[in-house]
Chains A and B, each alone.
Chain A
Amino acid sequence: MSQSIEEKLYLIRYKADDQSHLTIRNQDVCLNCTSKECNFFCPADVYEWDAEGHVTTVAYENCIECGTCRLACPASNIEWVYPKGGHGITYRFG
């Protein structure tokens, strides 16, 4: 019954906005970040370091809006706002 994170996220109803509510303030900060903790603590695997492009990629469509990245990024380099009203996740159970 153990599933991959993709399978887990597939169970949540989303209404994605066309604009990201998550912004990396400065990609150079990510380049110099040694721990890249956001690649781990996010419960929806939103953040991934793209080693070739030297950027942190942001899959905001998967975001479950917990807010962990906002306060856990060691450099406070993630700008986090709520998705537009009525957008983002909708829990059916909660």
Chain B
Amino acid sequence: MADERFDVVVVGAGPAGAAAALTAARGGLKVALIERGEYPGAKNTFGGVLYRKQIEQLIPEFWKSAPLERTVVEQRLWLLAKESAVTVSYRDDRFNDPPNCWTGQRSKFDQWFAAQAEAAGAVPIYETAVTDAIIEDGRVVGVVTDRDDGELRANLVIIADGVNSLLGKRLRAHREWKPDQVSLAVKEVIALPREKIQDRFNLDKSEGCTIELVGETMGMAGLGFLYTNTDTLSLGVGVMVSDLKRLRVKPYEVLNGLKQHPMIQRLIEGGEVKEYAGHLIPEGGYTAMPSLSGDGWMICGDAAQMVNAVHREGTNLAVESGRLAGETAVAVHEREDFSSAGLQRYTDAVRKSIIHKDLKKYKGLHGLLSFPESEKLFGQLPQAVNDALFEFLSVDGEPKRDKQKQAFRKLEGVAGGRMDLVRMALKGWRAMNG
């Protein structure tokens, strides 16, 4: 292994790493793609949704051959209270053609995606963990792996090792994330016959829907989700690690609680749990993004906090950043400039991309996710909205004007008063509009 020299070593064969390896290999570079799992995707999990746009840029019409679950034609949002839910949804057949996004399973998709990079010439080095970077004269010139004689030298190292990014930390690209910059998501994959899924969720054969769940997280900042796969459901919940610490709650108990909710219980009834999974999600957004490049290295995807929590987009931003890093790798090889000045090109490209623009838009969101605001937004408010609607829709002889007053009083109660409710709404608006 030590004798072989590469142009680029990509660490991590998830969506970011595979996109980088594919792009660099197509550009004629000699690429090593390292993955610590038994196969690409073995360590990966997500909600999860895969989006067309960014993958299509690399592989046109990939959906005709890639392992995907259902085409998402309907997106629902449920505001949960203890026994009830306010539901909003949008369904449109135009999401079918061209498909906008799909539900997916990472062990299948990531393997397929990395195989495309292999087909383009990237050399797979799987079941191999990277333990350190090789730094000479202040420049990254390779990585150390846990294999015997496991040094791999290259002109460039692309860091795509996911949210924990031990290599990124090693290179001081970033310090340790703070507990309020990541959430912990736990998920179960629940098998159900496909006809049952289609009936229960009102779907056609290949159609799917996603349900985002707000509330019933014991007042912790976080979201639940219930997504339809072909013959399984993905049910999970992610909550801010700082809140888990504060409340000393077991994460899987939040999930067990959701499973008991009357709205959810009937949808998963009779299903068989096939897998339990857990993973951190970067939630720090714009302000938590580290330096993206330096002497001999670039960093992509979750490792660089590239997740848009509001729209639960992550894999697409990972693929986009991987592609940009791959393109930069090809460009700097033409000029043989692997310095931080040369690789600034990648940082600039990310800044001009949707990654930077979208994360910037929501940069204020982080403030809303901190205690005590989080407890109002994720705990008291969903319950109050449900109670307000219960009041408003109950036909019990009380005049509507009084009912409306009572309903508003419930919402004001959460904020502290009428002006506080206006202030809270304004703060929310600003957080969503950078």
Interface on A for B, CB 8 Å cutoff? 1-3, 5, 8-9, 11-12, 15, 35, 37, 40-41, 43-45, 64-68, 70-72, 74, 76, 80-86, 88-94
Contacts and interface: CB of A to CB of B under 8 A. Distances in A.
A65 B184 CA distance: 11
Contact of B273 (A1, A66, A89): A1
A82 B36 contact: yes
A41 to B, nearest CB: 5
A83 B241 contact: no
Contacts of B93: none
A60 to B, nearest CB: 15
B167 to A, nearest CB: 10
B368 interface: no
A81 to B, nearest CB: 7
A3 B271 CA distance: 13
A84 B131 CA distance: 10
Given A1-B271, A43-B184, A85-B36, A66 B280 contact: yes
14 contacts: A2-B260, A5-B252, A41-B184, A43-B278, A45-B250, A66-B278, A71-B177, A71-B178, A74-B245, A84-B129, A89-B43, A91-B45, A91-B275, A93-B105
A71 B176 contact: yes
A44 B127 contact: no
B105 A94 contact: yes
Contacts of B107: 90-94
B179 A40 contact: no
The 5 closest A-B pairs by CB, nearest first: A86-B127, A94-B106, A8-B276, A43-B278, A94-B107
Contact of A86 (B38, B241, B275): B38
Contacts of B184: 41, 43, 66, 68
Contacts of A88: 43
Contact of A82 (B163, B166, B276): B166
Question: Main SS of the interface on chain A?
Answer: loop
Contacts of B42: 89-91, 94
B72 interface: no
B259 interface: yes
Contacts of A11: 273-276
Contacts of B407: none
A37 to B, nearest CB: 5
A66 B126 CA distance: 20
A45 B252 CA distance: 10
B155 interface: no
Nearest to A81: B166
A9 B147 CA distance: 29
Contact of B46 (A64, A83, A94): A94
Given A82-B36, A85-B146, A94-B107, A2 B245 contact: no
Nearest to B42: A90
B178 A84 contact: no
Given A1-B273, A2-B259, A40-B249, 4 more contacts: A40-B244, A41-B250, A44-B278, A93-B189
A35 B244 CA distance: 12
Contact of A41 (B37, B176, B241, B260): B241
Contacts of A43: 184, 186, 250-252, 278
Given A41-B184, A84-B129, A94 B277 contact: yes
Interface in B92-109: 105-108
B46 A9 contact: no
B164 A70 contact: yes
Given A35-B248, A41-B184, A86-B38, A91 B273 contact: no
Contacts of B277: 12, 64, 91, 93-94
Contacts of A90: 37-39, 42-43, 107
A15 B45 CA distance: 18
A64 B276 CA distance: 9
B182 interface: yes
Contacts of B127: 85-86
A53 B90 CA distance: 56
B339 to A, nearest CB: 29
Contacts of B406: none
Nearest to A84: B146
Contacts of A91: 41-45, 106-107, 275, 277
A68 B105 CA distance: 22
A81 B275 CA distance: 24
